[in-house]
Each structure stands twice: as structure tokens, then as C-alpha cells.
Amino acid sequence: MLTFSLSGKTALVTGANRGLGKAIAGALTELGATVYGTSRTDAGVRKIESDLGTEGFVLDLEDVRSIAPFVERFGARLRGTSLDILVNNAGVNHPARALDVTIEQWNSIVDTNLRGTFFLTRAVAQQWVSAGTSGAIVNIGSQAGAVGIEERAVYCATKGGLDQLTKVLAIEWAPHSIRVNTVAPTFVRTEFTADTLSRPGWGETLLARIPLGRFGEPEDIVGAVAFLAGDAAGLITGHTLLVDGGYTAW
């Protein structure tokens, strides 16, 4: 059972100031890891520092040019301690019918969920490869990468792309002992989904598609992330673990 411990490991969780990211960061901390988090805002960073007791960092994945300098700065701030775990949790969505999607909405979703996530992950992996150290990457995907969901054409495209990216990176980076996996939740009750789940008629429609009969809570997801991040999953890479209450089993 000691393989489920994260004692002595260092983790970085993007979007750790609220919702699922906050829950993930807290769970990894409880399992013994030293956890750092990012937010797009100074207020979010202050929340992370209050919650975790570690330094928080401003990072906006839409600004791809800021990613490499951030990784260099973050690595320097660890003062010789290596990063062991990267959790790519930060993401955005702007629900809209495909006929109504704007260029701005498309760019925001793709740049954050796919482009920014890729370049952050690559920058971290480059440091690991250069130092000859191993690492574990856990992407937060979605059931939307496996099934179509109305008003989420762009979001589904990015999460499906993330599943494929996970496979390719796992293959390419396995010789460097870098594991890459994805956790793909169903709808989880957070600030991110509040508008959708409270919309008249819409929440009931979505709930009817989940065989277990309930939406997820952040605590339902953290176990899968912690498992894939740790040594207990040492032979697992390139996998997308659906935590969806059976949504995709239909």
C-alpha cells in the first residue's frame, strides 16, 4: 500500500485555485506530496498559497509565449528539488451551438485546452529529459473526448485531441521513463459547470445519461489522478481513464 503514497514527491497543478484543481492539489498534499499551483490571476494565486501553504504562480496558457519562461522560473524556484508530477487541469469552455461559435471562442478554448497544455507539458518534459529524471503527467480530459455533447463542438475537439496527444507523448517519452495519462470525468459539480447543470431541463437531460444516477463531485475524481500520478501506476502510460458514472457505456 506504500506505493499509493506520494511522500517526497513534488507536484505542479494548473488551475489549482478552485474547483477540481483545488481538490486535486489538496488530495496530492494529503498523500504527502509538496504541491504548487497556478492560476491566471493574482487573486487565484493568493488562494492557492492560503490553501496549500506553498508558493503560487500566475500562468495563462492562452499566452503560449509565457510558458517556457514560466517553466524556467518555476524550476529555479524549486532550488534543486526536481518536479515529479505535472497535472494539466486548467481548461476553459464557452458552450455554444456550432453554428454560433465565434473565432474568439474557438481560439480561447483551443489555445488553453490543447495548444497551451501541449507546450507546457513539452517544456516540463524537456527539463526531465535534459536532467535524466523520470516524471508522471496526468492530463484532465473529459468524457467529451469520447462522446459528442451538444453545444460543445470545440470543447469536444480539444478533449479528443488531448486523448490522442496523451497516446503519442506516452510512446515518445517512455524511453525517458516519463508516463503520460489522462483522467476523463463526466460533469462534475464545480464553478466551471454550475451554469450548465442549473439550466432548466438541461441538467435533467444530462443526468439521465449517467447510469449511476448522479453527477460527479471533485472528490470522485481525485483518486484516479492520485493513482495515475504515483508509483502504483508505474506500468500505466498512454491511457485515458474515464470517471463518468457509465456515461460512455451506452
> Catalytic amino acids?
155
CA gap 35, 77 in Å, rounded: 13
Q: Are 242 and 218 in contact (CB under 8 A)?
A: no
Please name the residue ranges forming H helices in 13-152.
Answer: 19-30, 42-52, 67-77, 103-110, 117-131
Of 183, 80, 166, 161, nearest to 125 by C-alpha is: 166
Per-residue cell: 63: 499566452
Rounded (10°) angle between helices 19-30 and 218-229: 50
As to burial, measured by CB atoms within 10 angstroms (0-12 exposed, 13-18 middle, 19+ buried), residue 23 is buried
Residues 6+ away with beta carbon under 8 Å from 68: 119, 123
Helix (H, G, I), strand (E, B) or coil at 69: helix
Of 119, 92, 121, nearest to 104 by C-alpha is: 92
User: What distances in angstroms separate CA 176 from CA 62, 129, 131, 227, one per listed residue?
Assistant: 28, 6, 10, 20
